[in-house]
Amino acid sequence: MSFVYPAGLLSLLGVGVLILVVLLRRKHEETTLSSTYLWRLALQVQKQNQTIQRLKKALVFVLELLCVILGALLIAQPVITLPGADTGYVAILDGSGSMRLTGADGKTRFARAQEAILRDVDALPWGSRVTVILAGDDAQVLLQSAGAGDVRSALENAHCGYGAGDLDAALALCQTLFDAGEGTQACLYTDREYPKASHIEVIPIVGEGEWNVSVSSLESEGSIYGTEFIAGVTSGGRDANVTFELYIDGEKLAAEKLEFTANGQKQEGVVYCPADETIGVRVLARQAYSYSDVRIVALAQDGMTEDNEYRLYAKPEKTTRVLLTGEHLYFLEEALSVFAQAELTTAEKPGRDADTGYDIYVYDGCMPDTLPQDGVIWLIDPPRSLWNMGLIFGEELMGASISPVRQWDGEDLSALTQELAMHDAAVVRFKEVTQTAGFAPVLLCGKMPVLLAGRAESGYRMLVMPFDLHDSNLPLLTDYIVLLRNMLDFSAPPMLPAQEFACGETVWPRTLERCEKLFLQTPDMTVRTLDEEALAQGVRLAAPGGYTLLQELEGGGEQMLSFFVHVPQEEGKTGAAEPSQEAISLRVPDADERADISVREDQRMNPLRLLAAALLLFACLEWVVYHREKY
């Protein structure tokens, strides 16, 4: 116990004053009576009530003494530290996908972990501070330094994810609490195995009778009989006979149109899956030669149904419309035709009117009078300067070797130069660029730029190459294909780099220059508009299933990309999952550091109201007893 105003305890000197007053108080009063009968009667009554009177006087003294003491305490204002205030219990709850596995008792690992936390919190000393951290796709503090009674409601609002879980971030949050004096002991409730470590206890959460079938991959191969789909399937916990269904473009294929093969042997509709072994299940869909969406489903009453299916989407083709204009387009046309997303249109000369309707406009050795206003522009060996954009050409110079520029005035150019070696690339002659306002050099010949990146008056991106491809050995090198790929991705980037992702991953969709709106449809058919802030922060793929990105383009038209998000294969295992790191540990502040950490106000109790109520009660009792004694 401590006091806000210790000097207020000087008021206890009033106890001595009270005792002195009691000692000096007159014991009786002398009264002259006219009759001895009344005197004898008074003595008789006094002898009968002598014991009661003594008790009343003693009670009055005690009540007066208590009132003086309570008054002194009110002045000093005592503060009582709660008994469990030095116990900061941190519970780290694993929220990864494997915690969704259901055991023979019908409970998930996540539910069993919640029950274990409640059981351990109930056993803590009264007044302990409890913090709950959820290690899901994002580590978050569900409850901080609260009472044990608040833990249940916090756990009820906790949700288990499908991804790997960010345990490292959760441990970092726990370490922050330890450093601030908010934590003194920690427990990790997880289904992963970890070596013993100091200052943190690992509570294993793995139930009995857990069994799970997971489909971890899906690929396709062409065949003269149809299309063959190869699925990676694992039966964790026990051997199982699993039945599969196959859907192509939303239509379920009949069993007679399917032929199953596993481990080189044909299966009659039911596939045998050995325990804890990943096998390749080959499904031949007869007379099915094309598809846009394929879904395979494993029918099993296992511990987690979310990983029982896998989807495969056909790759989008011809998503970027490219206009090639020039008299000698061989090198460009042959190289760009390698890329499936490029839909090429060629013309020998620019039209009288401005070209429209393309994503990329490539002008080799020529330029229109008016540059397009609705797409990215590539100028290769331009015949004149771009005065209005501050790009001015000088005389023609003799060339030398070419080298890439990774960064220019803080601007990252790696998107254009990634994977470029340029060891043997050289140019014979090129136009000198005397002014490059607003343009950044991407490739250099000596110290002079031979590829520049900037923006046209329309606001769209522009790439300028001030030399003729025939005056360079670049088209003969593999770097040429890499450079064109980078230029395509820079000018008309794919919305996503792949069509398969794992739950918990964050993706950053990219849009065309002409994109007006971008929409994301999630597996629950919810449509979300992605603004610039969402694109900058990225999109967290929380739930498994099929997603669709759709961008609406300026002037009409749209571009769509479908992709699949699956539960990570590691999260479908029934045994204890492998640890994400060799050991886990927390550093507890030493004695000197703990001395600098003060007890928080909410860890103390100030009984002023209780003392005031007691003082009022004792004062009333003293008055009642004294009043009855006197009257």
User: Which pLDDT score is estimated for 596?
Assistant: 44
- Contact, 48 vs 42, CB < 8 A? no
Report the distance separating Cα 122 and Cα 151, nearest Å. 10
- CA distance linking residue 324 with residue 322, whole number of Å: 6
Residue 326 tokens, joined: 């020039």
- Closest alpha carbon to 133 in 88, 163, 87, 100: 88
Tokens 């330029």 correspond to: 367
Q: Bigger pLDDT: 89 or 125?
A: 89
For tokens 């106000």, what's the residue?
601
Has residue 480 got a pLDDT over 90?
Answer: yes
Q: What pLDDT does residue 593 have? A: 45
User: Distance between CA 389 and CA 438 in Å, rounded?
Assistant: 8
Lowest mean pLDDT among 191-195, 317-321, 423-427, 577-581: 577-581
The predicted structure's pLDDT at residue 558 = 87
What CA–CA distance (Å, rounded) separates 128 from 189?
19
Please answer whether residues 365 and 383 qualify as being in contact, where contact means their C-beta atoms are separated by less than 8 angstroms: yes
Instruction: pLDDT band for 496, please (50, 70, 90 cuts).
Output: very high
Q: What is the pLDDT of residue 610?
A: 72
Burial of 453 (0-12, 13-18, 19+ CB in 10 A): buried
Q: Measured between alpha carbons, how far is 187 from 430 in angstroms, rounded to an integer?
A: 68
What residues contact residue 627 under an 8 Å CB cut-off, 6+ apart?
Answer: none
Ranking 72-81, 182-191, 289-298 by mean pLDDT, the lowest is 72-81
User: What phi and psi values does residue 304 have, to the nearest 5 degrees?
Assistant: -145, 120
Residue type, 405: V
Give the model's pLDDT for residue 597: 41
Distance CA 394, CA 615 (A): 98
Q: 360 has which bridge partners?
A: 322, 376
pLDDT on residue 76: 67
Contact predicate 374/321, CB 8 Å: no
Take residue 249 and report the two structure tokens written for it.
């473009």
- Separation CA 191–CA 103 (nearest Å): 13
pLDDT value for 608: 62
Closest to 237 measured CA to CA, from 210, 272, 273: 210
pLDDT for 172 beyond 70: yes
Assess contact for 335 and 475: CB atoms under 8 A. Answer: yes
Task: For residue 535, give the 3-state DSSP assignment.
Answer: helix
- The type of residue at 587 is R
Question: Averaged over 70-78, what is the pLDDT?
Answer: 69
Are the beta carbons of 355 and 370 closer than 8 angstroms? Answer: no
Alpha helix stretches (DSSP H) within 97-254? 109-122, 151-156, 167-179
468 vs 43, higher pLDDT: 468
- Write the CA distances from 43 to 32, 37, 51, 267, integer angstroms: 14, 10, 14, 117
Residue 9: the pLDDT is 65
- Cβ atoms within 10 Å of 508's Cβ, excluding its own: 13
pTM, 2 dp: 0.75
50-64, 328-342, 426-440: range with lowest mean pLDDT: 50-64
In the three-class reduction of DSSP (H, G, I as helix; E, B as strand; rest coil), residue 566 is classed as: strand
Amino acid residing at 388: N
The pLDDT of residue 106: 87
Q: What per-residue confidence (pLDDT) applies to 319?
A: 85
| The pLDDT value given to residue 410 | 66
For the segment 366-408, what is each residue's pLDDT rounded down to a tens digit?
Answer: 999 889 988 899 999 999 999 888 899 999 999 889 999 877 7
pLDDT in tens, 231-262: 999 998 899 999 999 999 999 999 889 999 99
Rounded CA-CA distance 340/336 in Å is 9
197-238 residue pLDDT tens: 667 888 888 888 889 999 999 999 988 899 999 999 999 889
Other Cβ atoms less than 10 A from the Cβ of 482: the count is 16
Task: For residue 439, give the amino acid letter.
Answer: F
- For residue 613, is pLDDT > 60? yes
Residues 289-305 have pLDDT tens digits of 889 999 999 998 899 99
